[in-house]
């Protein structure tokens, strides 16, 4: 993708769900704004991005059009995605998205081993997928192999006792108040080892 110009990247940003951009964005001003928001000097930002200070200065002052490779380095250094370089700020407006899911109002999805209740389902473009799950499984034999998926996952035990199995670690028993955070690409399964079904909160990253 080397050699792509800013115009094509703006189109990429729009295609990836960025808000309406209106007039063409001043890339140099946007980069300067992002740098100053982090309280970084030109030297610090250039070091983070792996660019020469003079190159970053020229980009900010509109004296050069960065290559796609330079834009990727900038995005990595600023810890954002490339399309975000072309997404204008909200002009001082406070962003606030919220959705409340009352007990029992989540979208229920039952499987052979779990009963899931999806939370905050009406909120679009989430970075996390939260859900409650009732663990009905009592044995690893009830699963058709490991569960694996992209992202990271946080597990918090609400009630009962469960056993967390993972591909690279010994099984661990977890009780109310215990939690685990793990790479979801690693095989994982949980079973209930208490008389009652264990109830857990799961939060999966969507990034």
Percent of the chain with pLDDT over 70: 82
CA distance 139 to 155: 19
CA 38 to chain CA mean position, Å: 20
Question: What's the token pair of residue 18?
Answer: 């960025």
CA distance 140 to 193: 11
- The per-residue pLDDT of the chain, averaged, comes to 81
For residue range 136-195, list pLDDT tens digits in order. Answer: 999 999 988 888 888 899 999 999 999 999 999 999 999 999 999 999 899 999 999 999
Asked if residue 7 has pLDDT above 60, the reply is no
CA dihedral sign, ordered 48, 53, 58, 60: positive
Q: Among residues 137, 135, 138, which one has the least CA distance to residue 155?
A: 135
């Amino acid at each position: 993708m080397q050699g792509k110009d800013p115009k094509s990247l703006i189109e990429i940003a729009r295609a990836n769900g960025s808000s309406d951009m209106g007039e063409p964005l001043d890339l140099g001003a946007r980069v300067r704004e992002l740098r100053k928001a982090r309280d970084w000097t030109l030297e610090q930002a250039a070091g983070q991005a792996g660019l020469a200070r003079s190159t970053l200065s020229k980009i900010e002052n509109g004296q050069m059009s960065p290559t796609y490779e330079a834009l990727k380095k900038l995005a990595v250094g600023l810890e954002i995605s490339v399309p975000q370089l072309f997404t204008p700020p909200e002009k001082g407006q406070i962003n606030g998205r919220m959705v409340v899911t009352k007990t029992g109002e989540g979208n229920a999805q039952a499987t052979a081993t779990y009963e899931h209740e999806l939370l905050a389902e009406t909120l679009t473009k989430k970075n996390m997928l939260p859900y409650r799950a009732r663990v009905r499984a009592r044995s690893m034999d009830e699963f058709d192999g490991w569960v694996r998926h992209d992202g990271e996952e946080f597990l918090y035990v609400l009630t009962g006792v469960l056993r967390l199995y993972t591909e690279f670690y010994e099984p661990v028993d977890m009780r109310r108040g215990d939690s685990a955070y793990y790479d979801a690409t690693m095989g994982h399964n949980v079973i209930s080892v208490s008389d009652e079904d264990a109830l857990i909160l799961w939060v999966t990253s969507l990034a």
